[in-house]
Amino acid sequence: MRFTIHALGTRGDTQPYLALARELQAQGHEPLLIAPAQFAEAAHAEGVAFAALPAEFLTLLDSSEVKDVIGKSGTGFGAGFRLIKHYRHLMRDLLDAEWRAAQAFRPEAIIFHPKALGAPHIAASMGVPHFLASPLPGFTPTSAFPAPILPFASLGPLNRISHALMIHGGNFIFRKTLRQWRTETLGLPGRGKPAPLSGTLYAYSPHVVPKPSDWGADVAVTGYWFLDTEDWQPDAELASFLDAGEPPVYVGFGSMPGIDPERLSQIVIEGLRMAGKRGLLATAGGALCQIENSRDIHFISGAPHDRLFPLVHATLHHGGAGTIGAALRAGKPTAICPFLGDQPFWARRVVDLGVGPKPISKNKMSAADFASAFVAMDDKSMRTKAELIGQAIQHENGLASAIRFIEETMTRDN
């Protein structure tokens, strides 16, 4: 079968969909990954067909305006809402690029990230099935927990209705652009709705967030979609550092942009030294910057989490869904300093599971806060729980489960 896979966002948003495309191809299907232009090289390396969305979507993350929003906003819904105005002018170009790629490929079904707002409308225009695929919950109403972008562990009887924020938020915010695009490009009624979903896939482990009892058979919690690497090895300097002492604590903040990278790096290093820990700091994304390697501190630009995390003592990061999955699969305690969006939700899950300490506030963090988190991750009970969850995740095959769900759904519907 021919699939277009529409992904929009940072590396953490896109990498699982590249993994899905690679596995679909390995099983005899024909996938096309439609994603920001920055991921063309990664797709080519995996032998996956690729169509580029405008690079400006990711480039904007490094702008001073967006950095200012992230630096001054809270970590939940407010931060994400304030970012939207900076992306509004890009939406039509993104929608048109999605449509051109799909129209040229003529898929038999569409799989899409929630941020790829055009995909359901393209599916309606083409008359093909479409599957929502998300690395986080929030797009299927449940009374088990509120929408993950809200800064609350529970809203009680309002939990279920709160998911409307994520289900309908993007279409509401960009409704004018979407209506014009539907009419002018797709030939659909401006105010019409996309066709009902064929199914929904959540690409995280049910051991981390169990499937709620009020979700039906049309929803699958598949397990993580890991893009594992086979040929990475530490370079000589990193290998020497790892061999020189106790396993270090990994500290990195993924694709989060730098607000004051030098200050954050200094605070992290001071916290490591207060806790008596060696540290491995990843500078990719810009939240941290390289100061100077030393006997107990080593900087890297980045490394594949699936190969690196088994080599470290524990991890501290921003709480992106993919980084959470990699850290937990490695069986390591993980501390979170959330920046925005769903990251506080994952921080709460880590605490609830007993595999990490309380989250660190990005607006009030100090060296003492980092030191406390580093020391907390020595707790034997926490480490045992992390090891057990790691073993459970290692026995899952989220990609195989996702593809089986898609194939069975399409066979049944046909």
Domain ranges of the chain: 2-224+396-413, 236-394
List, in order, residues 6 or more apart from 196 with CB less than 8 Å away.
none
- What is the pLDDT at residue 90? 84
**DSSP class of 209:** S
Whole-angstrom distance, CA of residue 32 vs CA of residue 279? 39
CA nearest to 314, candidates 336, 329, 332, 331: 332
**Tell me, what's the pLDDT at 9?**
85
* 254 touches 317 (CB < 8 A): yes
pLDDT along the chain (414 residues), means of 10: 94 93 97 96 96 87 59 51 62 95 97 95 95 96 95 94 92 90 94 86 98 97 94 92 96 79 93 97 87 89 94 96 95 94 94 97 92 98 98 98 97 84
Predicted local distance difference test score (pLDDT) of residue 10: 84
CATH architecture type of domain 2-224+396-413 = 3-Layer(aba) Sandwich (3.40)
Torsion of CA 74, 77, 83, 84, to 10 degrees: -170
CA–CA gap between residue 319 and residue 314 (Å, rounded) = 14
Q: How confident is the model at residue 65, as a pLDDT?
A: 59
Closest CA to 130 of 160, 88, 98, 97: 98
Q: Which amino acid is at 272?
A: L
Nearest to 32 by CA among 84, 87, 101: 101
Q: What is the CATH number of domain 236-394?
A: 3.40.50.2000
| 2-224+396-413 and 236-394 have identical folds | yes
| Nearest Cα to Cα of residue 109 among 133, 134, 126 | 126
Q: Which strands make up the sheet holding 2-6, listed edge to edge?
A: 49-53, 30-36, 2-6, 109-112, 130-134, 199-202, 219-221
Residue recorded with tokens 């089986």: 404
**What is the structure's pLDDT at 293?**
79
Can you give the pTM of this predicted structure? 0.92
